[in-house]
Structure formats: C-alpha cells, structure tokens
Amino acid sequence: MTKIKLRGMDLLKDSLLNKGTAFSEQERNLFNLGGFLPPGIEDQEVQVSRARMQLSHMPNDLAKYIYLANLQSQNETIFYRLLMSDPVRYLPIVYDPTVGEACTKFGHIYRASRGLYISIKDKGKVKDILSKWPRKDVRFIVVTDGERILGLGDLGVNGMGIPIGKLALYTAVAGVPPEAQLPIFLDVGTNREKYLNDPLYMGLRHPRVDHKEYIELMDEFVDAVQVVFPKCCIQFEDFANYNAIPLLAKYRDKVCMFNDDIQGTASVTVAGFYAAQKYTGMKISDHKILFLGAGSAARGIADLLCYAMEEEGLSTQEAREHCWMFDTKGLVVEGRKRLEEFKKPYAHKHKGSDSFLDCVKKLKPTAIVGVSTCPNLFTKEVLEAMAEFNERPLILPLSNPTSQEECTAEEAYRYSKGTALYAAGVLFDPVNLGDKTYYPAQANNLWIFPAVGMAIYATEAKFVTDKMFLIAAQTLAQQLNAEEFNKGTLLPSTSRILEIALEISVSVAKVIFDDGLARVERPDYDSHILQFIEKRMYHPFYKDYL
C-alpha cells in the first residue's frame, strides 16, 4: 500500500499518483474526489484503449507527440503502459525521429513545464534551484545545453525536448522508475538567429556565453547535484564536440556520469560489429573502419572499438590504426593544419584527400560509419565501391533524425546489390528488391542507455565506465535470434527491446558488482541478479492507496 497526503484536485494534478477515472469508490471518498470525476469507474485497460483511440485520430506524428506529452503530464501510468504495450509503434513518436521536429517547434507547441531550467543568470543559486524539486531521491538527470541537438545543431532552449524524451525511454524501455528522474536544461544562450528573432522562443535572447562563464556554471551544477541528489547519475546529452569531450574527461572519474552521444552511441555501434561477425566471421580487429564525421560520436565509437580490439589482443596503437576519420576538411591525417586535439589519436601518416569516395577506394575499409549529420553523403558511388572489395560491407549511417541520414536503407541495399549489412540511427521499413526482402536494423542509443541506466539505478553505481558499455554491446549482439539472423538483419527487432534491455541490465550490473562500483550489497549468487533487477523495476500499474 502506498500512503499519500494529497487530496482533491491536488491529487488529480499529480501525474505520478493520478488514476483518473480508475479511482475506486472508496478512494474517491477518502481522497475527497467526489464531483471531480465522472461517476463511472474504469479499469486501466479501458483507459489505455481510450488513449490509443484518441492517438489514432491525430493527423500526424507531431500531433501524436503533443498528445502523448499531455498524457504524460496527466497520468504517467497510462502513458507508460501505452508505450510499453507496443514499443515499435510508440517509441518513434516520443523519441527519434519525431522528437527532432518537436524540438525545432518547441516554443510553438509548448503546453506545460516539465523538469528544471537553469540559466547563466542563476550562477550562485543552482543548489537552491535543484532543492526546489519536489522529489528528493533523484537518481537520473539528463541535461543538455541545446547546442547540438541530434543533427539539427543549436536549438537553444528548444532542446529541452531531448532530456524529456530520453528519460521517458529510461522507463518505457528498461523500467527505471519515473519518480527518480529529472530533465534539466542549462540555458547559456543561443547563436541561432532564427530563435533569437522568434517571438515564441522561451530561452535567453543573447549569444552563448564565453567559455569561462560556461565552465563555472557547469562546475557549480555538477557539484550541486552531488549535494542535493547524492545517488544521482548525470547523463550529458547533445553538447557540442568542443564541450562534450572535455567535460566527459573532466567529470567521469569524479562523479557518476556519462555522455550518451559519446558512450551510448559507441556501444550500440560496437554491438553492430559484434553481430556482423555472425555473417562475416570477422573479429572486430579484422576490420578497417572509415568514419564520415570526426566529432564526439566518432571519437567515442573509435575509442570503444579500440577497447574491443585490445580485448582481442591488439595494442592501443595497433587498434587505432584500424580507425580512420574524414571530416569537413577531408581525411584526418598527421600534420594537418589546425587539427583539433581530440582527433589526433586517429590522425595517421597518409596523404590527405578531400574526397570521401577517393578515401573509400584507396583505404578499402570493411565498414563505413556515418556520424556527419549531413544527408546523402554515402552516395551511389561510395556504396558501389564498398561492395566491390567487401563480400558483406558494413554500412552504418547513424546520423538522425531521418532527414540527416547519410543514406537510406533502400539505397544501401540497391547499390550494394543486396550485400550490405546495414543499420541506421532511425528505423527504416523493410526494403523489397526483386524477389527478396531486406530488413534494416536500428543502431540507436535507445538499445543501450536505458538498460545501462537500470543497472546503475539498481546497484547505485559510483561511476560509469567504458567496460559497462562494452559489455552492453556484447550482450545486445548476443540477443540476435535465429529468425532475425535468417532475415539478414544486423541487430534484434525493437519489438523485443523490453526483454533485451533486461538482459543488458543484468550483464552490466554484474560488471558493476565485479568492479566494486556498487553502493549496495551484491546478491548471494549471480543467478539472483536478474531477480535483483526485476525487484527494482517500474511496472505501469496503479498502486493501492487504501
């Protein structure tokens, strides 16, 4: 039984406690709800059916996103029960690809506040703002400054849609309790004139602050979280490259935190390489990888790939020689002028080139990974070249939303003559070519961060390590079943994401216990870790208040 103090409209306004028309007669009398609700008493299935019907009447995915946001603000139990009833159908609405459009229009579709907004004007008061949050046992904060939202760039305060959406996936995919979550936006301004001139833009109307002020706010924020929410893990999300990589390096060994764009993206990508071995027989250390894009995502993927190669026996330097990068200035090579520090580990001795196709033909990679946020750069010629010298080329256009993908699934299969092993950041429909159907996979972070998060939540982990993400990648790849393998898909179907997330959570929790990073007692036997995780998972059912 759950004891609650709220009564009347205050109870109906609490989205975590509200049952709506499912409040029983006894509950209505006890909590002074008489007159506030229609007299008929309904069960959850009726409520979910009504929500499903109303959602089906929405004219487009953005309208469905708005509807679900309203539902979440009114009744989180029904919101999550709906999402978990059909992840394939509903997750693309609350997150990729719809969340990209929702963010660009955030100020225009805004209905109600969710989470906390901390601006540069709040320096010196961050702890006080965090302390205002009504729930005191926050375990996960997803925070962004809105500078690099998906592949859409600087959206300013409109980027708040990302922390909100990410946290919804923590619950819907892996069962992290929603009451333990807090989305936060750090508003330091925006450099996008479009939003500075938009009368409905809700953020600070000035350019982004200088680096010193920015770091002072970030340090204050991270320190304040440790005081106000001492068991909290901070997920950094959609920060610009020049901030994301240094911030991860600065905080990762001091507090419980990770950067999903760097580590989560790396994990799901490495899972694709492990799964590809089932088709090619190639170990990760057998691959030569060419990245299109050399930002934080590319660096994170390359680092985790090298970690995996080191596990297979290579030295760090030998592993790095398997990874090449191509950015807006061309091939990343030694001696290039104004080469950013974080790219230098993957700058090799080689003649420079400003043609990606030329690099593909000369380097002959076994895999190309798109993290450029620029659409259509895996051209017909690039894909044909990959198929010329690879029996099963690995094609991974990971940029999202859909408008930013380096190539579509249909293009990859058509121009490789059906030989491509393909996964994209968003989910494409099956592709029919001739008499054969191809099944593209989705290599999206949603496979990783919710499950890793559930393990962190259950174990109260002190820190987050790359080893956790490598184990998550290996576990995900192992979930590819015989039916999916026979279809030629690279990763499992998202229809199984809930069961697979549990497997990943268990594997990661074992690592946390093995490495002495847990703040709770380990179960007596490893076989009990599954039950340990399940006991702490959220399930979308109403609690007994009597």
Q: To which H or E segment does residue 261 belong?
A: none
The residue range of the domain holding 74 is 8-86
Count Cβ atoms below 10 Å from residue 265 Cβ, excluding itself.
Answer: 27
pLDDT above 90 covers a percentage of the chain that reads 92
166 among known catalytic residues? yes
471 with 491, same domain?
yes
The model's pLDDT over 49-62, given as tens digits with 9 standing for 90+, comes to 999 999 999 999 99
Percent of the chain with pLDDT over 70: 100
Angle in degrees, 0-180, between the axes of helices 497-514 and 529-536, rounded to the nearest 10: 120
pLDDT tens for 369-425 read 999 988 899 999 999 999 999 999 999 999 987 778 899 999 999 999 999 999 999
Helices (H), 391-445: 409-415
- Using CA atoms, how far residue 329 sits from 325, 333, 338, 357, in Å, is 11, 10, 10, 14
Alpha-helix residue ranges (DSSP H) falling in 365-406: 380-389
Question: What is the bridge-based pairing of β-strands 233-236 and 257-259?
Answer: parallel
pLDDT the model gives residue 1: 65
331 plus 474 within the same structural domain? yes
Q: Quick one: 266 and 242 in the same domain? A: no
The H or E element that residue 54 is part of is: helix 44-56
Q: If you average pLDDT over every residue of the chain, what do you get?
A: 95
Same domain, 363 and 408: yes
In residues, how long is the chain? 546
Residue 3 domain-assigned (yes or no): no
Do 139 and 238 share a domain, yes or no?
yes
- Does residue 115 share a domain with residue 67? no
Instruction: Report pLDDT for 96.
Output: 84
Q: CB-based contacts of 489: which residues, under 8 Å, 6+ apart?
A: 439, 440, 441, 480
Give the CATH number, domain containing residue 422: 3.40.50.720
In this structure, are residues 301 and 369 in contact, taking their beta carbons and an 8 Å threshold?
Answer: yes
- Identify the domain boundary among 261, 295, 313: 261
- Domain membership of residue 342 (yes or no) is yes
Neighbouring C-alpha atoms within 13 Å toward the C-beta of 81:
20
- Pick from 55, 86, 117: which residue ends a domain? 86
Q: Which two tokens stand for residue 33?
A: 């709800």
Query: CA-CA distances (angstroms) from residue 46 to 26, 40, 163, 443, 489?
Result: 20, 12, 30, 35, 36
Catalytic-labelled residue, pool 90, 166, 170, 538:
166
Q: Is residue 386 part of a domain?
A: yes
DSSP output for 266-332: HHHHHHHHHHHHHHH---GGG--EEEE--SHHHHHHHHHHHHHHHHTT--HHHHHTTEEEEETTEE-
Task: Give domain status of residue 507, yes or no.
Answer: yes
Does residue 1 fall inside a structural domain?
no
Tell me whether residue 13 is one of the annotated catalytic residues.
Answer: no
Name residue 30's amino acid: L
How far is 200 from 180, CA to CA, in rounded Å? 31
Same domain, 393 and 483: yes
Smallest CA-to-CA distance from 443 within 279, 298, 292, 272 is with: 272
User: What's the N-to-C CA distance of the chain in angstroms?
Assistant: 6
pLDDT band, residue 150 (cuts 50/70/90)? confident
Which tens digit of pLDDT belongs to each residue from 33-81? 999 999 999 999 999 999 999 999 999 999 999 999 999 999 999 999 9
Domain count, the chain: 3
Q: Are residues 248 and 267 in the same domain?
A: no
Indicate if 236 and 117 belong to the same structural domain.
yes
Residue whose C-alpha is closest to residue 286's, from 309, 265, 256? 309
> Average pLDDT of 424-434?
92
Residue 24 has pLDDT above 80, yes or no: yes
Buried b / exposed e across 228-264, counting CB within 10 Å, b at 16+?
A: bbebbbbbbbbbbbbbbbebbeebbeebbbbbbbbbb
Q: Which tens digit of pLDDT belongs to each residue from 121-147?
A: 999 999 999 999 999 999 999 999 999
Residue 422 belongs to some domain of the structure: yes
Task: Measure the CA angle with vertex 486, ends 482 and 487; round to 5°.
Answer: 120
Kindly provide the b/e burial profile for residues 464-491, where b requires at least 16 CB atoms within 10 angstroms of the residue's own CB: bbbbbbbbbbbbbbbbbeeebeeebbbb
Q: Are residues 416 and 528 in the same domain?
A: yes
Question: Which residue out of 65, 95, 422, 457 is catalytically annotated?
Answer: 95
Q: Is 491 left (phi over 0), alpha (psi -120 to 50) or beta?
A: beta
Taking only the tens place, the pLDDT of each residue in 474-513 is 999 999 999 999 999 999 999 999 999 999 999 999 999 9
Are 356 and 328 a contacting pair, CB within 8 Å? no
Smallest Cα–Cα separation from 367: which of 334, 395, 336?
395
Residue 2 lies in a domain: no
What token pair was written down for 113? 């506040």
> Domain of 79: which CATH number?
1.20.1370.30
Q: What is the pLDDT of residue 152?
A: 87
Instruction: Decide if 442 is inside a domain.
Output: yes
Run of H or E including 96: none
Q: In what order do the strands lie in the sheet with 367-370?
A: 330-331, 323-327, 289-292, 367-370, 394-397, 421-424, 441-442
**Which domain-ending residue is among 261, 278, 313?**
261
Distance CA 437, CA 488 (A): 10
Task: Give the residues across from 325 on adjacent strands.
Answer: 291
Based on DSSP, count helices (H) and strands (E) in the chain, helices before strands. Answer: 24, 14
Whether 464 shows a pLDDT value over 80: the answer reads yes
List Cβ neighbours of 111 (8 Å cut-off, separation of 6 or more): 66, 69, 70, 73
Residue 115 sits at the vertex; the CA angle it makes with 109 and 116, to the nearest 5 degrees, is 110
CA distance 195 to 108: 11
Residues whose CB is less than 8 angstroms from the CB of residue 50 and which lie 6 or more positions away in sequence, other chains included? none
Q: What is the CATH number of the domain that holds 194?
A: 3.40.50.10380
**In 3D, which of 192, 208, 207, 121 has the Cα closest to residue 158?**
192
Amino acid letter at 498? Answer: L
Q: Are residues 18 and 49 in the same domain?
A: yes
Q: Please give the Cα distance from 464 to 468 (Å, whole number).
A: 7
One domain, residues 518 and 382? yes
